[in-house]
A = this chain, B = another copy of it.
Amino acid sequence: MKQILVDMDGVLADVYQHLIQYEYRRTGQLINIDDLQGKTEEDAFPDFRLSVNSKGFFRTIPLIEGSQEGLRYLNDNYKVLIVSSATEFPLSLTEKEEWLMEYFPFISWKQMIFCGDKSSIRGDIMLDDHPKNLNYFSGERYMFAQPHNLNSVVENCKRVQSWEDVLRQL
């Protein structure tokens, strides 16, 4: 069975919608996601660091549409490892695991990796939204579409637009 490394933020967890809500609550300004195409998350959200360092931020992120059914399909057909960049935000660690346990109870603690840098994690396939992770991966690569990666080019990397699209391609 092939081993697939699945990212959390921007693949399972809808960080953009959550950041938009956090900014709205703080400033009263509702950011339109269509205005964020091609911008990094830090450029798109003035209070990015404040939000992601808030207690509860990662525990309450909404799901990306189709991610539960999609990950269940992958888990039945691949050796899934959830690999999440998390150590930059220490509070996120326990919250991320609790979030996974709530929404993806079929994923066991043995399938979770929280790290700073993904380049030492072995796998056959990577599904991620960040070119910085995909670029250092030597297996098959799939970039999950998010506003920040609209203009990103990663060699030999397929782009997937949604979980529906993941299931079509994998």
Interface residues of A, Cβ cutoff 8 Å to B:
3, 81, 86-88, 90-91, 93-94, 97-98, 101, 108-117, 120-123
Q: Decide if the interface of chain A is mainly helix, strand, loop or mixed.
A: mixed
Q: Is B97 touching A90 in the complex (CB atoms < 8 A)?
A: yes
Tell me the number of copies of this protein: 2
Q: In the complex, what's the smallest C-beta–C-beta distance from A153 to chain B, in angstroms? A: 24
Q: In the bound complex, how far is the Cα of B3 from the Cα of A121, in angstroms?
A: 13
Q: Is A112 touching B98 in the complex (CB atoms < 8 A)?
A: no
Q: In the bound complex, how far is the Cα of B98 from the Cα of A91, in angstroms?
A: 9
Q: Which residues of chain B have C-beta atoms less than 8 A from A97's C-beta?
A: 87, 90, 93
Q: Is A112 touching B123 in the complex (CB atoms < 8 A)?
A: no
Q: Which residues of chain B have C-beta atoms less than 8 A from A117's C-beta?
A: 110-111
A90-B109, A121-B121 known, 6 other contacts, Cβ within 8 Å = A81-B120, A93-B94, A93-B97, A110-B116, A113-B115, A113-B116
